[in-house]
Chain A
Amino acid sequence: MSTPLGQWLMSEAPLSRRQAVLGSLYRGVRAIFANPTALAGLFIVALLVVMAVFAPWFAMGQSPLSQDLAQRLAAPSPEHWFGTDELGRDIYARTLYGARVTLTIVVLVSVVVVPIGLAVGTVAGYFGGWVDAVLMRVTDIFLAFPRLVLALAFAAALGPGIENAVIAISLTSWPAYARIARSETLAIARSDFIQSVVLQGASTGRILFRHVVPLCLSSVIVRLTLDMAGIILTAAGLGFLGLGAQPPTAEWGAMVSSGRDVILDQWWVATIPGLAIFIVSLGFNLLGDGLRDVFDPKSR
């Protein structure tokens, strides 16, 4: 806390709105860094992002798609760090490019699921009565769909592909967020600080977006991070069944599937992408656990 910047950020009496906001952000970042679990998770997730963004650079000229049948199923070597698959493609490069697919799914699902869940949940919780009853029964209906089966049905109806996988995963994921947002909103909506904004004459939209949503957001983010592992596994499962990303796109689930036949003799073909799925899922779980500790005021 000796640096002038640190003192400025940790000031108990900020002099501007910017300083107050940055100060509270800085406190949050410090809390994450002080929590080993969250830090480990953050490191893995950051690694995933870096790998995805700089995949061509990390792959050092190896293409994830170029085939070399003379080199098929080659064991790990200095030339092919993680070996090659049944078409002689470099597994190291394919694993790197696979991070892009995984990251795309993660981002798309978050972007779809969080706003829908928050909107449905806060509206149901704030208005109560028949609005709540209708929205929550709709939520229950969506919650009753088995995720993988719905995803299979979608893939069958609309054709396999990442987009349809994302739609199927999102359709079955948002109800959990609606429920969290609703229960948070129920507690918040009756509180005096919301009543006081009502008395100031704020519109309902303003109350929900500016005052209720910010308080629901932390538990929704924690839930999303913890769910991410399941989402990645579902996406990989779809890929494994041939209904996710289509060949020749490098996708971890599909890569595991292609290594299934040779798993005893050429273990690396299925093991490397399987490890990647495992590590990234673990990373999101650790980050979610850590974030829950950081956001929970009782654990401070």
Chain B
Amino acid sequence: MITVRDLSVTFEVGGRDIRAVQAVSFEVARGETFGIVGESGSGKSTVLKAIAGLVRSTSATLEVDGRAAARRRSRADRRMLQFVFQDPYGSLHPRKTIDDILREPLVIHREPDIDARVAAAIADVGLLPAHRFRYPHQLSGGQRQRVAIARALILSPPILLLDEPTSALDVSVQAEILNLLARLRQSYTLTSILVSHDLAVVAHLCDRIAIMRMGRLVEIVSADDLRTGRVTHDYSRQLLAASRGFVRQDA
């Protein structure tokens, strides 16, 4: 479903080139949930933004659903893939009601039945009809992230990219959002890539996991291997050791 070969991203900061992602390659099968973990600054979010076309990248191959992802994407291309951002406080327009926010993708793609579909999307992510005409500042962080998820799914995209969708939320709300994602993944048959620094979250939701460090992909392991600690690379072992407590509770 998603093929990435030799993906590199270089930012120019103050005249110097920063190579944020270097020669990363992986494939994600249809229906699979693929995880990317790594410490801050390892380039994991940048990989996700490069796939979405939000940052400029160079690659040997960048294919989404068998078609090369161009730098300039058409409206149909955009439809294939939606994104949930890390910070639910920054990802919703502060002057628009939830209704406006959810309506926007449907209006852009000239979809029919907008009213009914907005109502359905709100119910789907566990919000109440009473939330529909509120402004984002009237909602909690968890409710906002539900709105962001509803917005990403309202066009029924085959691919969902999740950039640390729970890291800005407190622990009890994190669990709710993760369960919601697990449920939606099944009902929508989504292919998704989940970026997180939290190994427990990734091991809980993902089938295979890529470990990244300093812009490079260290290794790709299965969720089982990650839980039982069967990793080959030294850095992966360090990362596991650093979060052992969490992994044990989860497994």
Contacts and interface: CB of A to CB of B under 8 A. Distances in A.
B109 A201 contact: yes
Interface string A172-204: 000000000000000000011101111111100
Contacts of B92: 193
Size category, B interface = 35 or more
Nearest to A217: B95
Nearest to A211: B93
A201 B99 contact: no
A192 B97 CA distance: 16
Contacts, number: 77
A19 B73 CA distance: 37
A199 B133 contact: no
Contact of B108 (A193, A202, A214, A215): A202
A159 interface: no
Contacts of A6: none
Contacts of B85: 192, 195-196
B87 interface: yes
Contacts of A214: 95
A202 B133 contact: no
A14 B91 contact: no
A199 B78 contact: yes
Given A196-B85, A201-B108, A12 B54 contact: no
B52 A199 contact: yes
Contact of A13 (B94, B99, B130): B130
Size category, A interface = 20 to 34
B172 interface: no
A77 interface: no
Given A191-B90, A192-B91, A200 B134 contact: no
Contact of A200 (B78, B97, B135, B138): B78
A198 B52 CA distance: 10
A24 interface: yes
A191 B93 CA distance: 9
B87 A200 contact: no
Given A200-B78, A202-B108, A192 B90 contact: yes
A99 B224 CA distance: 79
A192 B95 contact: no
Contacts of A199: 52-54, 78, 81-83
B104 interface: yes
Contacts of B52: 199
Interface in A17-40: 17, 19-20, 24
A15 interface: yes
Contacts of A299: none
Contacts of A16: 133
B81, B86, B99, B131, most chain A CB atoms within 10 A = B99
B91 A12 contact: no
A193 B93 contact: yes
Contacts of B108: 200-202, 206
Contacts of A206: 108
A192 B109 contact: no
A17 B54 contact: no
Interface in B76-122: 77-79, 81-83, 85-87, 90-95, 97, 99-100, 104-105, 108-109
Interface in A194-231: 195-202, 206, 210-211, 214-215
Contact of B104 (A12, A20, A202): A202
B97 A20 contact: yes
A191 B85 CA distance: 11
B90 A12 contact: no
A193 B93 CA distance: 6
Interface string B13-56: 00000000000000000000000000000000000000011100
B61 to A, nearest CB: 21
A19 B83 contact: no
B90 A20 contact: no
A1 to B, nearest CB: 17
Given A14-B97, A193-B93, A199-B83, 4 more contacts: A193-B91, A196-B83, A200-B82, A200-B155
30 contacts: A12-B138, A13-B133, A14-B133, A15-B130, A16-B133, A17-B100, A17-B133, A19-B133, A20-B97, A24-B135, A191-B90, A193-B94, A195-B83, A195-B85, A196-B85, A196-B151, A197-B104, A198-B54, A199-B52, A199-B78, A199-B81, A199-B83, A200-B82, A200-B104, A201-B73, A201-B77, A201-B79, A210-B104, A215-B93, A215-B94
Interface of B: 52-54, 73-75, 77-79, 81-83, 85-87, 90-95, 97, 99-100, 104-105, 108-109, 130-131, 133-135, 138, 148, 151, 155
